[in-house]
Amino acid sequence: MAEVRLTKEGVEKYEQRLEYLKTTGRTEIAEQIQIARSFGDLSENAEYDAAKLEQARMEYEIVEIEAMLRNVVIIDEDTINTEVVNVGNTIKVLNKALNREMSFQIVGSAEANPRENRISNESPVGAGLLGHKLGEVVTINTPGGASEFEILEISK
């Protein structure tokens, strides 16, 4: 697995999720499987099949999170440069086409959540802004076409 960039907050979130899955999640799914087994014939037992499928999904998620945490590079917010746009920065831009200001934090793809104004450094806008300075107007090809963004603020 390639390097995964996360904030300290993101690492803690994934560690908590992993702990939940390994303890509570595994216990709950084992109980569901036991209950489903009590229904009888396993060859035509939809509850048993669903519980086993959920168990497989959960085990896959555990393996995925463990691999991610082994390859994590923590974004140290104390050392983030605000001269140019970097992963970890919070950016305020003016979308010239919409004439609307937008603020978001650029994070690694594992932490991206547009509802929380956290966009991936691999997304068109995130990748397009990386390395640019305050006041620059950057043209970025987005799925909706080319858009111009003026960088109004770069902060930690």
pLDDT at 84 over 70: yes
**Residue 7: predicted pLDDT:** 86
Q: Which residue has tokens 């999640």?
A: 25
Mean per-residue pLDDT, 36-52: 84
pLDDT given at position 38? 86
- Residue 54 in this model has a pLDDT that exceeds 90: yes
Q: Would you state the pLDDT for residue 77?
A: 74
Q: Is the pLDDT of residue 91 over 70?
A: yes
Residue with more model confidence, 54 or 41: 54
Buried b (16+ CB within 10 A) or exposed e, 89-112: bbbebbbeeeeeeeebbbbbebbb
The structural domains of the chain, ordered by start, are 4-75 (1.10.287.180), 77-155 (3.10.50.30)
Q: What is the pLDDT of residue 1?
A: 66
Give residue-wise pLDDT tens across range 69-81. 999 988 877 777 7
Rounded average pLDDT over 105-110: 91
* Inter-residue contact 73 to 4 (CB < 8 Å): yes
- pLDDT-derived band at 139 (thresholds 50, 70, 90) equals very high
The percent of residues in the chain predicted with pLDDT above 90, rounded, is: 66
